[in-house]
Amino acid sequence: MLLYKKTAAELSKMLRNRECSSVEICNSFLDRIKQNEKNTEAYITICDDIIDKAKEIDKMLALGEKLHALAGIPIALKDNISTKGIRTTCASKMLQNYIPPYDAYVVKKLKDAGMIITGKLNMDEFAMGSSTETSYFKKTHNPYDPDYVPGGSSGGCAAAVISGEAVLSLGSDTGGSIRQPAAFCGAVGFKPTYGSVSRYGLIAFASSLDQIGTICRDVSDTALLYNLICGYDKMDATSARREYPNFYSRLSDCNINGMRIGIPFEYFKENVSEEVIQNILNAIELLKYIGAEIYEISLPSTKYAVNAYYIISSAEASSNLARYDGVRYGYRTKNYNNLSDMYTKTRSEGFGDEVKRRIMLGNFVLSSGYYDKYYKKASDIRLMIKYEFNNAFKECDIIITPTYPTSAFKFGEHKDNLTKLYNNDIFTVPASLAGIPSISIPCGYSSKGLPIAMQIMGKNFSEMTLLKVAYAFEKLYGKPERME
Ligand code: GLN
């Protein structure tokens, strides 16, 4: 039996029953990485102390110490989550050699629970993109077909989890970067409510939208991992101060009889592939079969969401990325004449095209004369979107849409039409702008055999409801295996 094919929940049980050791689990994943990484190219950095850490956990388990359910389980992280002593690059030349002096809040949580970090995963540069094509280092490949992108920006996470190179992963989602790669690779991608997981130590892209979340193989693992990372943190000013239930243990009660599901059918038309629509409709039929009630809802401001998202996220990025000036962190140009020349050359050489495009757009929409015309208007649209969601959630408990208008696309497919690529974020950015939780789960395959996914959104802090619906669906529909 191959350990790397198992879920975290299964491995955790086996560990406690002494059917395997943490060293054996870690070795199984390391072997898999050795064998398969040349096809996937998911990792930027692989840690060298994995087996030592696993031995420590095995020793504690042998002594009968009471450890967290996830102790001894390996996990991989998107390379924008700060890890003390482990290079954290954001897939950028700018941070190519940056070693953080501290751990992100979530990393501390993982370590305290005895989890073992296997390494740092590829992504789009500074989380800007939908394919990992903007990474300075490499392109990650879709485990279902290497000619296709794994999605992005957390493409390394989704590809590693589905190809069996990671049991679990943490990614970040600003406008869909967890949900979209999960959809392209057939994984479960979960973006919780803004403020429920601390952003302390997550390298900022757009702070009012950035959210750490999980990419796992199934819903149980999602609940198990989310249990561990949610919670109040005084180091993040936007962290929510509240109590959270035990999501994992409550999953088994997943009766969704009478659950009201809202569907904004108006968005199922333009630019959404027939196959995606068909698979979502089939999934809705399954949910109806187990007792859900379907309502048609309207979210009229969604049509402005992509524009508002790119204005707001670029504005915040232009400010957040001002810190990379060659003085404080990361890359500095070799030859320069004076300070201003040093700044210019450092930033011109250190950032890739997509990052530069966003910084320029951000500076433009914040500049005097254009602020009201663009930034202010985008902020107003954001409020309208929130308001419409609030109203919709009076009529329904959850909202279902496709996660993405198509299945995975080929490398290079969008290089001449970025607007089209941006517009494809239509289903994921509304939840980001509103701050509400959202989960993407596999619900079918395209004619090319690539995964298709649906997105389930709920009101703020309704994570338990989302996980229950997702779990109920998964039980009926099944979950994809890890790759051979
Ligand atoms: N595709 C979106 C973008 O490029 C997603 C980014 C994200 O969520 N980090 O901005």
Q: Where are the domains of the chain?
A: 1-484
> Which amino acid is located at 89 in the chain?
T
Ligand 1 close to Cβ of residue 153 (< 6 A): yes
Which top CATH class is 1-484? alpha beta
Atom of ligand 1 nearest to the CA of 173: 8
> How much of the chain is helix, strand and coil, in % rounded to 5?
45, 15, 40
Residue 245 C-alpha to ligand 1 middle, in angstroms?
A: 30
Q: Would you name the residues annotated as active-site residues?
A: 78, 153, 177
Pocket test for ligand 1, best of 177, 194, 307, 419 (most atoms within 8 A of CB): 177
Pocket test for ligand 1, best of 124, 191, 199 (most atoms within 8 A of CB): 124
The token pair that represents 373 in the structure block: 């015309």
Ligand 1 close to Cβ of residue 154 (< 6 A): no
CA distance 168 to 172: 14
- List the chain pLDDT tens, one digit each, 484 residues: 699 999 999 999 999 999 999 999 999 999 999 999 999 999 999 999 999 999 999 999 999 999 999 999 999 999 999 999 999 999 999 999 999 999 999 999 999 999 999 999 999 999 999 999 999 999 999 999 999 999 999 999 999 999 999 999 999 999 999 999 999 999 999 999 999 999 999 999 999 999 999 999 999 999 999 999 999 999 999 999 999 999 999 998 889 999 999 999 888 877 899 999 999 999 999 999 999 999 999 999 999 999 999 999 999 999 999 999 999 889 999 999 999 999 999 999 999 999 999 999 999 999 999 999 999 999 999 999 999 999 999 999 999 999 999 999 999 999 999 999 999 999 999 999 999 999 999 999 999 999 999 999 999 999 999 999 999 999 999 987 777 7
The token pair that represents 120 in the structure block: 């740092």
The token pair that represents 334 in the structure block: 């070799």
Residue 409 C-alpha to ligand 1 middle, in angstroms?
A: 16
CA distance 227 to 246: 6
Residue 128 C-alpha to ligand 1 middle, in angstroms?
A: 5
Atom of ligand 1 nearest to the CA of 172: 9
Residue 159 CB partners (closer than 8 Å, separation 6+): 40, 42, 140, 141, 142, 143, 150, 165, 181, 185
Ligand 1 close to Cβ of residue 216 (< 6 A): no
* Smallest CA separation from ligand 1 atom 4, residue: 129
Give the chain's count of helices (H) and strands (E). 15, 11
Ligand 1 close to Cβ of residue 130 (< 6 A): yes
Ligand 1 close to Cβ of residue 129 (< 6 A): yes
Nearest to 257 by CA among 289, 296, 223, 297: 289
At 322 the three-state DSSP class reads helix
pLDDT value for 213: 98
Ligand 1 close to Cβ of residue 210 (< 6 A): no
Residue 31 C-alpha to ligand 1 middle, in angstroms?
A: 32
pLDDT value for 269: 79
Ligand 1 close to Cβ of residue 127 (< 6 A): yes
- Are β-strands 74-78 and 168-173 bridged in parallel, bridged antiparallel, or unpaired? parallel
Ligand 1 close to Cβ of residue 362 (< 6 A): no
DSSP 19-32: SS-HHHHHHHHHHH
Ligand 1 close to Cβ of residue 193 (< 6 A): no
Nearest to 295 by CA among 399, 386, 390: 399
CA distance 331 to 424: 33
At 348 the three-state DSSP class reads helix
Spell out the alpha helix ranges (H) of 367-406: 377-395
* Smallest CA separation from ligand 1 atom 5, residue: 175
Residue 172 C-alpha to ligand 1 middle, in angstroms?
A: 9
The token pair that represents 307 in the structure block: 């524009």
> Which amino acid is located at 264 in the chain?
P
CA distance 96 to 378: 33
- HSE-up of 483 (CA within 13 Å, CB side)? 24
Residue 281 C-alpha to ligand 1 middle, in angstroms?
A: 26
End-to-end CA distance of the chain: 12
Q: How far is CA 56 from CA 21, 50, 53, 71, 72, in A?
A: 11, 10, 5, 10, 9
Pocket test for ligand 1, best of 78, 130, 135, 194 (most atoms within 8 A of CB): 130
Q: How far is CA 156 from CA 125, 129, 210, in A?
A: 12, 13, 18
- The region that residue 2 occupies, defined by phi over 0 for left and psi between -120 and 50 for alpha, beta otherwise, is beta
pLDDT value for 253: 86
The token pair that represents 248 in the structure block: 């994992």
- Are β-strands 116-121 and 43-46 bridged in parallel, bridged antiparallel, or unpaired? antiparallel
CA distance 30 to 307: 42
At 402 the three-state DSSP class reads strand
Pocket test for ligand 1, best of 309, 353, 425 (most atoms within 8 A of CB): 425
